[in-house]
Amino acid sequence: MVGTSPSPCEFDVPFEATPVTARLKLVMDPGESTRRLRVGMRLDKYRLVKKLGEGGFATVYSAHDTIEDRDVALKIPESHSSDDHQSADDLQREVRIMASLSHESILPLKDARYIDGHFVMVFPLGEETLHDRLGRRMARATTLDYVRQMTSAVAYAHERRVLHRDIKPENFILFPNSKICLTDFGLARIERGRHAVSASGTLGYIAPEQAMGKPTYRSDVFSLGLVIYRMLSGSLPEYPFEAPLPSYAKLRRGLNQEFVDWIRKSMDPKPLKRFRDGVAMANALDRIKSLTVPGSATGTTSTRSTRHRTRRVA
């Protein structure tokens, strides 16, 4: 089942205020049973239905909540050795960042708890990822609707000073009624000023400066710009991301030049030429009256607005 309205955050504690003592441990008591997970088995009230994704760190299953009689997605990190503090810290960060965010285009964390020795994060179950969806034709109007929602999600995260650092089609989940949600804050960081950060993110959508270990809000802007370019042109530009860009003529077809410029600006290889953050990016999008050329047959503009942004982040 899928929620169509924003669900309230169940851990309504500001991330920064989280007591340090409440540290998560990934590894359970050795005495505790940590049964190997497999499709068909029960984890408390959840019955594992299907493996949806398997990263290096966690496995995501679709599951049935046998009490509420609805389907959910369970993200379950693999068990790690007890001295794997890095993983536990990463997991704690991911959970608390996701719990602190409440926005209609960010996947809501419904619950996070230990079940039978496994750490389980519970989310609404989506239909597929944007990556899967891009394999099929998509109407321009739908694409533009997604673009607004995706930009709104990133603006909201930046407003809360959260850098995502891994924006790519696999981390957007689609729901009925053309709803799309950003997820996977596994690499996210709370921005607290300048500090050295290691290079992470996914090659392909990663900004050049992020690949050099210096991600900023502008790096998320770049990744989002690249995803949008891919959605509208069918092609993914590669480093050094300069003209001539692949399928540029296809991208422009039926789109307002102002909107094309907005995309180009978002994915400029030079960070300082981009929007400073998702908020500025979303505000600029809101100012474009029509994303398509008036009267063009390529679809109508969305009525969904990115709303809410009046503030700018630092």
Ligand X SMILES: Nc1ncnc2c1ncn2[C@@H]1O[C@H](COP(=O)(O)OP(=O)(O)O)[C@@H](O)[C@H]1O
Closest CB to ligand X among 101 and 107?
107
Residue nearest to Mg ion (CB): 184
Taking the complex as a whole, the smallest distance from the CB of residue 16 to ligand X amounts, in Å, to 23
Q: Does 60 bind ligand X (CB under 6 A)?
A: yes
The piece of 142-150, 184-192, 198-206, 294-302 that touches Mg ion (CB under 5 A) is 184-192
Closest CB 236 distance from Mg ion, rounded Å: 17
Q: Which of 112, 173, 255, 285 binds ligand X (CB under 6 A)?
A: 173
Q: Can you give the chain as a three-state secondary structure string?
A: CCCCCCCCCCCCCCHHHCCCCCCCCCCCCCCCCCCCCCCCCEECCEEEEEEEEECCCEEEEEEEECCCCEEEEEEEECCCCCCCHHHHHHHHHHHHHHHHCCCCCECCCCEEEEECCEEEEEEECCCEEHHHHCCCCCCHHHHHHHHHHHHHHHHHHHHCCEECCCCCHHHEEEECCCEEEECCCCCCEECCCCCCCCCCCCCCCCCHHHHCCCCCHHHHHHHHHHHHHHHHHCCCCCCCCCCCCCCHHHHHCCECHHHHHHHHHHCCCCHHHCCCCHHHHHHHHHHCCCCECCCCCCCCCCCCCCCCCCCCCC
> What is the radius of gyration, based on Cα positions, of the chain?
20
The contact mask relative to Mg ion for 160-179 (x = CB under 5 A, - = no) is -----------x--------
Q: Please tell me whether residue 94 binds Mg ion under the rule CB under 5 A.
A: no
Convert residues 110-139 into a mask of x (bound to ligand X by CB under 6 A) and - (unbound): -------------xxxx--x----------
**Residue 69 a catalytic site member:** no
User: Is 75 marked as binding a ligand?
Assistant: yes
Among 104, 145, 184, 277, binds Mg ion (CB under 5 A): 184
Interface segment toward ligand X; rule CB under 6 A; list 17-25, 85-93, 148-156, 182-190: 182-190
Pick between residue 157 and residue 279 the one whose CB is nearest to ligand X. 157
Candidates 29-37, 51-59, 202-210, 291-299 — which segment interacts with ligand X by CB under 6 A?
A: 51-59
Tokens of 52: 């949806």
Judged by CB under 6 A, the stretch of 5-13, 79-87, 181-189, 206-214 that binds ligand X is 181-189
Which listed residue (65, 90, 145, 166) is catalytic? 166
If the CB atoms of residues 188 and 313 are measured against ligand X, the closer one turns out to be 188
Residue from the set 73, 109, 130, 279 that interacts with ligand X by CB under 6 A = 73
The two structure tokens encoding residue 4: 């169509």
Binding of residue 90 to Mg ion (CB under 5 A): no
Report the b/e string of 205-215 with b at 16+ CB within 10 A.
bbbebbeeebb
Binding site listing for ATP: 75
- Binding region for Mg ion (CB under 5 A): 171, 184
